[in-house]
Structure 1
Amino acid sequence: MNWRVQLGLALNLIVFATVLNSVGIVVERSISEWHIAKTVGGTLEGCKDLTIAFTSLLLASQVPRIGYRKVMMAGVAAVCLVCALLASVQKFWTVPILFIACGASFALVKVAVYATVGLFAKTPAQHASMMNRIEGIYQVGALVAPVVFAQMIASGNWINTYWFVSALALLALTTWIFTPLKSDEPQETKKSGGLKDVQMLLKRPVVLVFLLCAAVYVMIEQSIGTWLPSFNKDVLGLEPERAALMLSVYFGSLAASRFVFGYLVRIIPAFALQLAYLTCAFGLLATVLGTTAQAPWAPAAYLLVLVGFFIGPIYPTLNSMMLSQLDRSLHSSMTGLIIVASALGGTIGSQILGTISQHYTTHTAFHFPLLPIGTLAVLLILFHRLEKR
């Protein structure tokens, strides 16, 4: 994979990470500046996640017919335009358009990115290493996004952030214009079975277990990430600014772990590493909950973000293990199923943790992720056995 392809993929991921992880900030700013109702602000998450899920389900299998490079160019071009629209108009009606357009684009671009990795990876270990680097770059974008928004908010016009994102998307588009993917051409003309491929995949027990793994993983990551600032503020007694900053540290730990895992997996079997990481994540979260049961303990904030370090590599490694087993013609359909399962898992996890927080306490709610962490370990063992058949 030459440096221009790597740069193009990295820019794609950073652009989408910045936009898709800005929902919480946009909701808060929209309520403060445009005085929208909180119920209206709450629909923005659905604009993103539901669009991602439906687009993946309906159109992911068509990506090979269009061509991976063309899809990525169209996706970043759409982001460039809608970000410029929001930054220019500065009205709330453009915000749902932004997240719907970016959600649809991300669903297809992610399929193209994953398939492009499959074009260049020659071995399962190399595929796993590249997938972890790809997901690590995405988390770097998620880490940087709150910092950029914070600076723009402090300057008095947070919407100007979207001029920056629009320019970044234009840079990504320019990169792909001058970066042909010759190995992509056979995939463009190869006919895909579309929904037939999806139905065929869903008949395989290993695929069903894998999709459960993906959904449960995102349930863990997103439920913790969504409610981490609330835990830091309500349970640990941190200042609101510091509580929000720890969210960036959490994203940073996810990114760092994926880069580290990308190298470790070359010398240690991925399955053994995954189980070891999950055990550490379970132990860290249980320690945090135990030490804060009676009174706040500020150092627990740093232990809690380290949970991200030990769950971070699970998702990209699982995806790599599954995709590397399949023929390349099935990668688009499989990636579509991955995105749907991920969207459903993330939405359900956040809703469950939020509901428990509302009826009990935030501390009580954070016992919930222990259940999917344990469940994921069991599912990983089952997936490993089915994979070996």
Structure 2
Amino acid sequence: MATMRIRLSLLLTYFVFAILLNSVGTVILQVIHTYQISKEAASVLEGFKDIPIAVVSFVIASFLPRLGYKLALQLALMLVTLACIAMPLLPAFWTTKLLFFTVGASFALVKVSVYASIGMVTHTKAEHASLLNFIEGGFMLGVLSGYWLFAAFMDPAAPQSGGWLQVYWLLALLCVANLLLLSSTPFPKLVLPPTRALRQDFIAMLQLVYKPLVFVFVLSAFLYVLIEQGIGSWLPTFNNEVLQLPNQLSVQLTSIFAASLALGRISAGVILKKLSWYWLLNSCLIAMALLILLTLPLTRDIAHNADVNLLTAPLAAYLFPLIGLFMAPIYPVINSVMLSALPKIQHAPMTGLIVVFSALGGTTGSMITGYTFASFDGQTAFYLSLLPLSLLLLSVGLFHRQSQQLAVSAA
């Protein structure tokens, strides 16, 4: 019973943060209209989210096992509750920056704690991979819910209005409810090695990068998140400006991307029982490239239609977001392979490195896409994702080779 409560609290915490973290694409679209912000200026919101994730993870990941994962999750939820309340009370672009800064810093605590806690409540590699995919699938369901939640508070007749900010009262309430559940859930104690200086824990985390398997892994994680955030953060704006869709419909149709990611991650748990993770990821990467090459030509020269709706939107608006279906298994699979290869006591520092390089990849991808979008067009910005996609195909091959060599040496 206690284990189920822990799993539920981890899932719901991840669910709430999924809504907030992945609202950046929707918020970019809204602040451009509400606060009259340029695309270049709006693109920094990804940095305000991701840089704190990287910095906080880098600094405290090795310390979290001693602080306690439950306390870290509680602290994160309290901070984000206050930031959500500030959004409708102090409507301004700087408040939006503050929100994503707080969400980013708090998510660093959440992700390290959730990933490390998974190792505490699972006992086999298969169980670890299954629970990780399930929680990541729940994360994507949170992302999907977020698009429709934000869209419900938008006024299609007045895209410049600030009515959408009222959604943050509901998000603050969700954080409080989750905090109450978490506070009433007992967490098991992690058996720690003898106490040593924080500096030694930090150095031990950095030394993980010197392992060839870890180095290739963090490169793969960086490239994956660069692609995912580059597409996910700018898909609402792509729908709005390239496909000529209104704001509310642009956000609603972006939910197909999140639904595809959720379905792909949940399905991966079943597929991986019958297929090697390496062949699955290679198939997914090739399918992603083909979808980009086949779908983006359909987005050229689309005329504005004032009466467009969910049933009459351009075909590309439904086809391109399906890239999430093939993208979905990559991140949780490589994370699970990496964490399963390490002792449980190293899961927190390893997750710290995962979060750091994921955050750097997310910021890089969003800013490159934003500047390319502003300087050229949306099609060019999304075509450029083929470059990191090719590099990711190569790095996954190297990661597979290194993991095989580790397994042989361990045997």
**Which residue does 1:285 correspond to in 2?**
292
The 3 A distance-change label for structure 1 pair 290 and 318 is: same
Report SS of the residue matched to 1:388.
Answer: helix
**Which residue does 1:101 correspond to in 2?**
102
**Alpha-carbon deviation of 1:24?**
4.1
Pick from 314, 320, 327: which aligns with 1:304?
A: 320
**Which residue does 2:61 correspond to in 1?**
60
Q: How does 1:146-157 map to 2 (within 5 A)?
A: 146-154=147-155, 157=163
Pick from 358, 362, 365: which aligns with 1:342?
A: 358
**Which residue does 2:146 correspond to in 1?**
145
Q: How does 1:145-184 map to 2 (within 5 A)?
A: 145-154=146-155, 157-182=163-188, 184=189
Residues 64 and 188 in structure 1, CA contact (< 8 A), matched pair in contact too: no
Alpha-carbon distance in structure 1 between the residues aligned to 2:110 and 2:120: 15
**Alpha-carbon deviation of 1:82?**
2.6
Residues 25 and 234 in structure 2, CA contact (< 8 A), matched pair in contact too: no
Residues 296 and 320 in structure 2, CA contact (< 8 A), matched pair in contact too: no
Q: Which has the larger displacement, 3-12 or 235-244? A: 235-244
Alpha-carbon distance in structure 2 between the residues aligned to 1:289 and 1:38: 21
Alpha-carbon distance in structure 2 between the residues aligned to 1:236 and 1:37: 19
The 3 A distance-change label for structure 1 pair 254 and 370 is: same
Provide, for residues 21-79 of structure 1, a one-character-per-residue CA deviation record: whole Å limited to 9, x for no partner.
Answer: 23344455556556677776554332211111111111111110111111111111222
**Alpha-carbon deviation of 1:214?**
0.3
Q: Which has the larger displacement, 232-241 or 282-291? A: 232-241
Provide, for residues 215-238 of structure 1, a one-character-per-residue CA deviation record: whole Å limited to 9, x for no partner.
Answer: 110111111112323443444444
Q: How does 1:1-389 map to 2 (within 5 A)?
A: 2-30=3-31, 33=34, 41-90=42-91, 93-154=94-155, 157-182=163-188, 184-187=189-192, 193-292=200-299, 298-389=314-405
Residues 57 and 337 in structure 1, CA contact (< 8 A), matched pair in contact too: yes
Report SS of the residue matched to 2:371.
Answer: helix
Residues 78 and 101 in structure 1, CA contact (< 8 A), matched pair in contact too: yes
Residues 24 and 233 in structure 2, CA contact (< 8 A), matched pair in contact too: no
Amino acid at match of 1:186: V
The 3 A distance-change label for structure 1 pair 269 and 248 is: same
**Alpha-carbon deviation of 1:116?**
0.7
Provide, for residues 97-156 of structure 1, a one-character-per-residue CA deviation record: whole Å limited to 9, x for no partner.
Answer: 322222111101100000011112222222222111111111111111121122223497
User: Normalising by structure 1, what TM-score?
Assistant: 0.90
Cα root mean square deviation, aligned = 2.7
The 3 A distance-change label for structure 1 pair 28 and 264 is: closer
Residues 63 and 71 in structure 1, CA contact (< 8 A), matched pair in contact too: yes
User: Normalising by structure 2, what TM-score?
Assistant: 0.86
The 3 A distance-change label for structure 1 pair 171 and 228 is: same
Unaligned runs of 5+ in 1: none
Report SS of the residue matched to 1:356.
Answer: helix
Q: Which has the larger displacement, 165-174 or 191-200? A: 191-200
The 3 A distance-change label for structure 1 pair 33 and 268 is: closer
The 3 A distance-change label for structure 1 pair 200 and 282 is: same
Identity among equivalent positions (%) equals 39
The 3 A distance-change label for structure 1 pair 125 and 103 is: same
Report SS of the residue matched to 2:153.
Answer: helix
Alpha-carbon distance in structure 2 between the residues aligned to 1:208 and 1:160: 43
Alpha-carbon distance in structure 1 between the residues aligned to 2:37 and 2:350: 38
Alpha-carbon distance in structure 2 between the residues aligned to 1:39 and 1:133: 36
Alpha-carbon distance in structure 2 between the residues aligned to 1:230 and 1:368: 17
The 3 A distance-change label for structure 1 pair 203 and 14 is: same
Alpha-carbon distance in structure 2 between the residues aligned to 1:238 and 1:34: 20
Report SS of the residue matched to 1:273.
Answer: helix
Amino acid at match of 1:181: F
State the number of aligned residues. 388
Alpha-carbon distance in structure 1 between the residues aligned to 2:378 and 2:137: 29
Alpha-carbon distance in structure 2 between the residues aligned to 1:100 and 1:125: 35
Report SS of the residue matched to 1:341.
Answer: helix
Provide, for residues 301-352 of structure 1, a one-character-per-residue CA deviation record: whole Å limited to 9, x for no partner.
Answer: 3221111100111001111110111111211111111111111112222232
The 3 A distance-change label for structure 1 pair 170 and 230 is: closer
Alpha-carbon distance in structure 2 between the residues aligned to 1:121 and 1:244: 37
Unaligned runs of 5+ in 2: 156-160, 304-312, 406-411
